[in-house]
Structure 1
Amino acid sequence: MVTDIVKQSSGILLAIPRYVIYGFGAMIFDGLYRRLHFGKDALLAQSARSYLFQ
């Protein structure tokens, strides 16, 4: 019974870092994607503005 509890708790402890890494990876990827996306939009807006107001 004690060994079952230890196995379960160690399994949970081993699973936590994986979820943390996935969470951080998703956050970083989302941030990078948004930055690239908005950067692209800003560049497009800037080039359109400079094209219009030559």
Structure 2
Amino acid sequence: MARRLVDETGITEAQARELISFLGFNWASLVREARMLKKPLNPLGVAEFSAGLSC
């Protein structure tokens, strides 16, 4: 199952094994979380989240 997750999503085998240990064998959940791991970071960074907050 880990190999299939790696092949279909592009995450590492270590990441796949860790997701399986956290989530079990629910394929839809594994793929969703794996895709989130591969999603590029927001180019605006943290500033986008802190906009409007006063320090």
The TM-score, its normalising length taken from structure 1, stands at: 0.30
Report 1 or 2 for greater relative contact order, CA contacts < 8 Å, sequence distance ≥ 6: 2
Task: State the structure with more CA Rg.
Answer: 1
Q: State the TM-score, normalized to the length of structure 2.
A: 0.30
The structure with more helix, counted as a fraction of residues? 1
